[in-house]
Amino acid sequence: MYDRKYPLSVVHLVLGLNVGGLEMVVLNLVRHCNRDRFSPHIICLQEPGQLAPAFTELNVPLESLDCPKLPKARTLYRLIRRLRQLRPHVLHTHNMSPHFFGVIAARLAGVPVVVHTKHGRNDPTRRSAVFKNWLASYFTDRIVPVSEDAAAVVREIEGVPDRRIHVIRNGIDLDRFPFTHRNGQHTGKHAVHVARLCISKDQSTLLQAARQVLDVEPDFRLTLVGDGPDREMLLALHKELGLGERVVFLGERHDVPAILACADLFVLPSVEEGIPLTILEAMATGLPVVATPVGGNPEVVVPNETGLLVPPQSPQRLAEALLTLVREPSRARRMGAAGRKRVEQLFDIRKVVASYEALYESLYTAEVNGLAANGRR
């Protein structure tokens, strides 16, 4: 029997907690949650990952079911058993596999409320993925896309009715990314890119564009922050293009705010996105953004106001946009200041967390009242 005493227990179900946008969203949700009213708990289907110590520092219980290669039936059995032991008021799932396993386990374990955050498009061209998302969504109380673009996939392709869709865009902690005034110490020619090194972020196009920029602006610099499966391929391309010391790979770093503060502009040439935290972090720091109009990017970057949007997989158009900001530093600074204001107004993590907590509470209250009215519990 569930009651309405506070705090409400919220279990976040993820694959793992290696560094990435989805994982940082989960970390921000628990870091800023109201502990008087909500008690967070993390379950990883696979290994905990690199971010696990951050949750420990926040005194948030974290555990792994260690199910990377186990049969699906055993994964489901372990999850059902654990949810019955924990008896959370809310299960909040992230990513497709945790959603699919999570909603089945939650319903069999009697969890009152299931919420799922859709962090991107989840490959709407794959019929199997669409079917799994549709099936899991049918038993989910609310689907929370992080962008209107993701909401369109949920609505138009996965067939979820509007009444069960609730868009909450990602946000960041503005205190961690203070606005930096670009002054005489900044050359106006230093671009930074922060992302996982993988095909969806399309660093190949970025390196080709950097070559074109350097051919006409030899003082241009590009710093890439992050690691991933494409690292060796990108290093080989870097050598092939003769980029030398003007383009550097820093790998995984924990001082991103300081790196952004030393840059003049931010670039992200993705081919798919949700609402990328790295763009929000750059805008909060006061950097103009060059990005592609994919996923939720157009909901963040206002063309010619906070940055420039260019077609994906176009080195020439990307290079042209970078050159525009390099050659017009005053315009770039105006865009950076406008970006900071936009993030303050729309993407503050405290507002995001408050929206999720209001959703948890309203769904749980409605569930309890509905069960009581129907005499089912």
State residue 44 phi and psi, 5-degree precision. -105, 130
User: What order do you get walking across the sheet with 8-14 strand by strand?
Assistant: 62-64, 38-44, 8-14, 90-94, 113-118, 142-145
The residue type at 364? Y
Question: In the prediction, which pLDDT does 3 show?
Answer: 55
Q: In the predicted model, is pLDDT for residue 305 greater than 90?
A: yes
Question: In the prediction, which pLDDT does 370 show?
Answer: 78
pLDDT digits (tens, 9 = 90+) for 73-104: 888 999 999 999 999 999 999 988 999 999 99
Question: In the prediction, which pLDDT does 73 show?
Answer: 85
String of DSSP letters for 59-127? T--EEE---SSS-HHHHHHHHHHHHHHH--SEEEEESHHHHHHHHHHHHHHT-SEEEEEE-S---TT-H
pLDDT digits (tens, 9 = 90+) for 247-298: 999 999 989 999 999 999 999 999 999 899 999 999 999 999 999 999 999 9
Of 261, 262, 264, 239, the residue nearest 249 (C-alpha)? 239
Q: In the predicted model, is pLDDT for residue 6 greater than 80?
A: no
Question: In the prediction, which pLDDT does 374 show?
Answer: 37
Task: Centre a 10 Å sphere on the Cβ of residue 297 and count the other Cβ atoms it contains.
Answer: 24
Q: Which residues of 230-265 are buried (b: 16+ CB within 10 A; e: fewer)?
A: bbeebeebbeeeebeebbebeeeeeebbeebbebbb
Dihedral, CA of residue 234, residue 239, residue 240 and residue 242, to nearest 10 = 120
Inter-CA distances, 185 with 190, 248, 262, 263, 264, Å: 12, 20, 9, 10, 10
Task: Centre a 10 Å sphere on the Cβ of residue 71 and count the other Cβ atoms it contains.
Answer: 9
Domains detected in the chain: 8-171+348-374 (3.40.50.2000), 174-346 (3.40.50.2000)
Give the DSSP H or E segment for 9. Answer: strand 8-14
pLDDT digits (tens, 9 = 90+) for 155-186: 999 999 999 999 999 999 999 999 987 765 56
- Please provide the average confidence, as pLDDT, over all residues in the chain: 92
Residue 147 CA to residue 309 CA, distance in Å, equals 17
Q: How many helices (H) and strands (E) does the chain have?
A: 14, 12
